[in-house]
């Protein structure tokens, strides 16, 4: 930044010629010397006004994103931060929407450091109330050029105490005196904190006694990267009158500022009361204390902050705002849970497989009391293709075998209230039977297991690092599905499939089944006719006198053949509940796992995909912020303002 002494008063137009000379700044009491050469400003386009609509568009995108529904909820602090940054974008856009932006220089400090006195000294008259009473300033005082229109000010400044001046060198600078930041009155502190967002440059005013006030320093640390900072140690004469101190306040402060990233901080040592008294005609012959730099501060405000510097500071402030917005958006972006979702889904699949097996076992235990009826049903269905004597025999045999069962009583049912078995209804109805069994199983334990399953899945997901607040809603929704109906449907489908496999088998069993049906339908009939022909041969050809036993031979041989075929059918195609149960349980477990997986397994991956979509929206918004930052960086003026900011 050009040194204040390098610029002539009023040289705040970048197209004007600046008088170039070296300025030597000597720190009182040491041999440190700093030489700063003024740089020749160049003509520039109205960059900041062009930036205004870009900031407005960015604010609209930000507001739209904030108002949108978020699967991954924003924390209250993130939402408040982003809302505040949106307000800052509008505030900056409004301030830049002019041919010549104005710079807000804000005086901030603790009680009794002389902020109001410093403003009076800069103004050359009493415009801010200064006295021994504390706190003195109760409302911010805005000191601005008479050509400026207050309605163009930020709303935070319009409600302050306004004071005009006619000094051309300060035409585009607004100086604001604020209440004490460490005031015992919380209202005063809130007023100062409230107007800080408007500041472009903060002059942190201290005194030899309060140059490192705890509360002021805390706020400085919060603003050091966002606002340009200049430092003033007022009441400098007191430093000269206390030579016994081990380390001068300015040296101590410079060391602390260096630790905060200020390699070349701008520090002015002032004795504002001396210049106020001089303006009032008092002590007109007195000299300013040695090392006092109030005139350097004045020259810096008037000449050092030319248009080039103002636009650079404005641009730098907006850059800092955009960087904070970018960081805040990245912090608020949903996490990438793709890998976590895959791990969670794998764990859930194992959990659902185990649960499907347990559920299948419970349902089969509900079917167990009706194993004779199920065997009967499957037997009847598998033997429907037998005809003639074989079919008649099998029908009579099954009636006798299952005469003690409840095939006609239990296979169409509705459940009773209480822990009883299903209510009998006449006739076999597979659908009603399975629904009734599923209802009984649900009442006994499955309903509770479904609720426990959802809780178990949430615990497993949380163990894998998946945010449980995202999983809970959809997992609980899946647990409220009518699982009784789904279990009943799975039972029906499996029963029908098992029945189909036993009635119409495939592969080798199909050939054996068809062969047995063919033999069962032909051999008994063939046996009857062969034996009947033999008996007739004996009677008519051999003229053997027929007896009753001869007439019963065809029937007996046919019955014997039917029995042999029945034994063969039982040996080759055994139909027992134990064998059916194993196959039935395996198929039912797979069917139930499929049903459970459809309801639960995809929840983590679906959520991860949706979060990825939300993350892309944030990334798009961050991209827009980077585009504006890049555009601003490419067009920033060639001014040196780095010393005003911490790294």
DSSP 358-369: HHHHHHHHHHGG
| Predicted local distance difference test score (pLDDT) of residue 234 | 93
Is the pLDDT assigned to residue 536 strictly greater than 80?
A: yes
Contacts of 5 (CB under 8 A, 6+ apart): 21, 23, 296, 299
DSSP, residue by residue, 126-171: --S---SSSS---S-EEEEETTS-GGGS-HHHHTSEEEEE--GGGT
Choose between 279 and 597: higher pLDDT.
597
Q: Which residues pair with 425 in a beta bridge?
A: 412
* d(C-alpha 643, C-alpha 254), whole Å: 12
Q: Where are the domains of the chain?
A: 4-332+621-644, 338-600
543-569: per-residue pLDDT in tens?
777 777 877 888 899 999 999 988 888
- Provide the pLDDT confidence category of residue 485 given band limits of 50, 70 and 90: confident
Q: Please report, rounded to a whole number, the percentage of residues in the chain having pLDDT higher than 70.
A: 79
State both tokens at 640: 């040196």
* d(C-alpha 567, C-alpha 570), whole Å: 5
Query: 349, exposed or middle or buried, with CB in 10 Å at 0-12, 13-18, 19+?
Result: middle
457-476: per-residue pLDDT in tens?
999 999 999 999 999 999 99
- The CB-based long-range contact list for 277-285 (8 Å cut-off, 24+ gap) reads 279/120, 279/121, 279/124, 279/125
Q: Give the pLDDT mean for 344-364.
A: 91
- Provide the pLDDT confidence category of residue 643 given band limits of 50, 70 and 90: low
| Predicted local distance difference test score (pLDDT) of residue 177 | 93
| Predicted local distance difference test score (pLDDT) of residue 184 | 81
614-626: per-residue pLDDT in tens?
999 999 999 999 9
Q: Give the pLDDT mean for 109-127.
A: 88
- Provide the pLDDT confidence category of residue 542 given band limits of 50, 70 and 90: confident
Contacts of 523 (CB under 8 A, 6+ apart): 561, 565
Say which DSSP state 9 is in.
Answer: T
Are residues 224 and 320 in contact, defined by beta-carbon separation less than 8 angstroms? no
| Predicted local distance difference test score (pLDDT) of residue 493 | 82
- Provide the pLDDT confidence category of residue 271 given band limits of 50, 70 and 90: very high
| Predicted local distance difference test score (pLDDT) of residue 223 | 86
**CATH topology classification for 4-332+621-644:** Rossmann fold (3.40.50)
| Predicted local distance difference test score (pLDDT) of residue 339 | 94
State both tokens at 85: 């940054």
| Predicted local distance difference test score (pLDDT) of residue 572 | 76
Say which DSSP state 185 is in.
Answer: S
| Predicted local distance difference test score (pLDDT) of residue 292 | 92
| Predicted local distance difference test score (pLDDT) of residue 467 | 92
- Cβ–Cβ contacts within 10 Å for residue 291, how many? 18
| Predicted local distance difference test score (pLDDT) of residue 505 | 67
| Predicted local distance difference test score (pLDDT) of residue 595 | 92
Q: Position of tokens 């050092």? A: 304
* d(C-alpha 567, C-alpha 526), whole Å: 18
- Provide the pLDDT confidence category of residue 414 given band limits of 50, 70 and 90: very low
Contacts of 636 (CB under 8 A, 6+ apart): 47, 312, 315, 316, 319
Q: Position of tokens 């349902």? A: 363
Vertex 133, ends 200 and 201: CA angle to 5°?
Answer: 5
| Predicted local distance difference test score (pLDDT) of residue 11 | 37
Minimum mean pLDDT among 165-174, 334-343, 490-499, 530-539: which range?
A: 490-499
Q: Please report, rounded to a whole number, the percentage of residues in the chain having pLDDT higher than 90.
A: 33
| Predicted local distance difference test score (pLDDT) of residue 329 | 94
- Provide the pLDDT confidence category of residue 502 given band limits of 50, 70 and 90: low
Vertex 226, ends 35 and 89: CA angle to 5°?
Answer: 130
| Predicted local distance difference test score (pLDDT) of residue 356 | 92
Which H helix or E strand runs over 218? Answer: helix 214-223
End-to-end CA distance of the chain: 17
Is the pLDDT assigned to residue 133 strictly greater than 80?
A: no
Contacts of 263 (CB under 8 A, 6+ apart): 643, 647
299-327: per-residue pLDDT in tens?
999 988 888 788 778 887 888 889 999 99
Contacts of 417 (CB under 8 A, 6+ apart): none
- Provide the pLDDT confidence category of residue 19 given band limits of 50, 70 and 90: very low
| Predicted local distance difference test score (pLDDT) of residue 443 | 67
- Provide the pLDDT confidence category of residue 350 given band limits of 50, 70 and 90: very high
585-624: per-residue pLDDT in tens?
888 899 999 999 999 999 999 999 999 999 999 999 999 9
State both tokens at 373: 């009826």
Query: 147, exposed or middle or buried, with CB in 10 Å at 0-12, 13-18, 19+?
Result: exposed
Residue 206 has φ and ψ, to the nearest 5°, of -135, 180
- Cβ–Cβ contacts within 10 Å for residue 512, how many? 15
Query: What's the mean per-residue pLDDT of the chain?
Result: 80
Say which DSSP state 444 is in.
Answer: I
Closest CA to 203 of 223, 218, 183, 186: 223
| Predicted local distance difference test score (pLDDT) of residue 46 | 59
> Do strands 161-165 and 22-26 pair parallel, antiparallel, or not at all (unpaired)?
unpaired
Minimum mean pLDDT among 158-172, 275-289, 628-642: which range?
A: 628-642
Residue 488 has φ and ψ, to the nearest 5°, of -60, -40
Closest CA to 363 of 212, 587, 544: 587
Is the pLDDT assigned to residue 3 strictly greater than 50?
A: no
Is the pLDDT assigned to residue 644 strictly greater than 80?
A: no
* d(C-alpha 150, C-alpha 121), whole Å: 23
Is the pLDDT assigned to residue 346 strictly greater than 60?
A: yes
Are residues 96 and 52 in contact, defined by beta-carbon separation less than 8 angstroms? yes
Is pTM beyond 0.75? Reply is no
Are residues 468 and 458 in contact, defined by beta-carbon separation less than 8 angstroms? yes
Are residues 639 and 309 in contact, defined by beta-carbon separation less than 8 angstroms? yes
| Predicted local distance difference test score (pLDDT) of residue 238 | 86
State both tokens at 61: 């995108």
| Predicted local distance difference test score (pLDDT) of residue 5 | 36
Is the pLDDT assigned to residue 367 strictly greater than 70?
A: yes
Q: How far is CA 394 from CA 45, 372, 405, 514, 557, in A?
A: 104, 16, 17, 16, 16
Is the pLDDT assigned to residue 498 strictly greater than 70?
A: yes
> Do strands 423-425 and 103-109 pair parallel, antiparallel, or not at all (unpaired)?
unpaired
Are residues 3 and 19 in contact, defined by beta-carbon separation less than 8 angstroms? no
Minimum mean pLDDT among 120-124, 339-343, 395-399: which range?
A: 395-399
Is the pLDDT assigned to residue 55 strictly greater than 80?
A: yes
134-144: per-residue pLDDT in tens?
445 578 999 99
Helices 483-503, 338-367: inter-axial angle, 10-degree rounding: 70
Q: Give the pLDDT mean for 244-263.
A: 84
Helices (H) and strands (E) in the chain, counts: 23, 11
- Cβ–Cβ contacts within 10 Å for residue 469, how many? 11
Q: Position of tokens 């309801």? A: 599
Minimum mean pLDDT among 174-188, 190-204, 505-519, 550-564: which range?
A: 505-519
Is the pLDDT assigned to residue 444 strictly greater than 80?
A: no
């Amino acid at each position: 930044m050009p040194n204040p002494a390098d610029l002539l008063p009023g040289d705040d137009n970048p197209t004007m010629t600046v008088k170039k000379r070296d300025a030597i700044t000597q720190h009182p009491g040491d041999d440190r010397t700093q030489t700063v050469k003024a740089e020749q400003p160049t003509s520039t386009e109205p960059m900041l006004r062009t930036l205004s609509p870009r900031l407005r568009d960015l604010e609209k995108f930000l507001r739209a994103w904030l108002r949108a529904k978020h699967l991954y909820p924003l924390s209250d602090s993130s939402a408040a931060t982003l809302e505040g940054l949106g307000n800052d974008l509008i505030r900056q856009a409004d301030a830049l929407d002019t041919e010549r932006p104005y710079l807000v220089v804000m005086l901030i400090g603790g009680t009794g450091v002389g902020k109001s006195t410093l403003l009076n000294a800069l103004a050359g008259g009493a415009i801010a109330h200064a006295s021994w009473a504390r706190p003195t300033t109760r409302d911010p005082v805005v000191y601005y050029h008479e050509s400026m229109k207050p309605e163009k000010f930020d709303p935070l400044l319009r409600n302050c105490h306004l004071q005009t001046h006619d000094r051309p060198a300060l035409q585009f600078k607004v100086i604001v005196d604020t209440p004490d930041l460490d005031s015992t009155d919380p209202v005063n502190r809130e007023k100062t904190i409230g107007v800080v967002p408007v500041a472009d440059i903060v002059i942190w005013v201290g005194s030899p006694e309060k140059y490192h006030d705890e509360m002021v320093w805390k706020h400085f640390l919060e603003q050091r990267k966002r606002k340009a900072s200049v430092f003033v140690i007022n009441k400098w004469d007191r430093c000269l009158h206390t030579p016994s101190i081990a380390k001068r306040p300015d040296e101590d402060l410079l060391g602390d500022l260096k630790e905060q990233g200020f390699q070349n901080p701008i520090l002015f040592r002032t004795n504002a009361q001396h210049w106020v008294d001089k303006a009032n005609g008092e002590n007109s012959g007195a000299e300013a204390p040695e090392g006092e730099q109030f005139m350097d501060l004045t020259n810096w405000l008037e000449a050092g902050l030319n248009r080039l510097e103002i636009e650079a500071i404005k641009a730098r402030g907006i850059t800092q705002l955009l960087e904070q917005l970018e960081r805040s958006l990245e912090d608020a972006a949903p996490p990438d849970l793709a890998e976590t979702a895959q791990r969670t889904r794998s764990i859930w699949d194992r959990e659902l497989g185990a649960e499907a097996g347990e559920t299948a076992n419970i349902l089969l235990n509900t079917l167990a009391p009706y194993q004779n009826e199920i065997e009967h049903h499957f037997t009847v269905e598998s033997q429907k293709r037998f005809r003639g004597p074989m079919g008649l025999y099998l029908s009579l045999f099954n009636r006798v075998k299952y005469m003690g069962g409840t095939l006609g009583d239990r296979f169409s049912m509705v459940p009773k209230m209480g822990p009883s078995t299903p209510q009998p209804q006449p006739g076999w109805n597979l659908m009603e039977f399975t629904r009734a069994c599923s209802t009984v199983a649900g009442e006994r334990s499955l309903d509770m297991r479904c609720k426990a399953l959802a809780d178990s899945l949430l615990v497993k997901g949380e163990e894998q690092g998946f945010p449980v607040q995202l999983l809970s809603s959809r997992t609980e929704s899946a647990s409220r599905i009518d699982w009784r109906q789904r279990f009943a449907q799975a039972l029906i489908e499996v029963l029908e499939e098992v029945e189909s496999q036993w009635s119409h088998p495939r592969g080798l069993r199909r050939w054996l089944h068809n062969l047995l049906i063919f033999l069962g339908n032909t051999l008994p009939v063939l046996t009857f006719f062969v034996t009947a022909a033999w008996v007739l041969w004996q009677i008519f050809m051999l003229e053997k006198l027929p007896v009753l036993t001869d007439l019963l031979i065809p029937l007996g041989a046919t019955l014997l053949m039917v029995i042999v075929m029945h034994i063969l059918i039982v040996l080759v195609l055994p139909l027992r509940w134990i064998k059916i149960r194993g196959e039935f349980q395996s198929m039912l477990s797979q069917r139930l796992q499929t049903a459970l997986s459809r309801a639960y397994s995809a929840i983590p991956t679906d959520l991860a995909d949706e979060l990825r979509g939300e993350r892309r929206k944030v990334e798009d918004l961050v991209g827009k912020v980077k585009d504006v930052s890049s555009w601003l960086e490419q067009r920033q003026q060639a001014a040196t303002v780095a010393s005003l900011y911490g790294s």
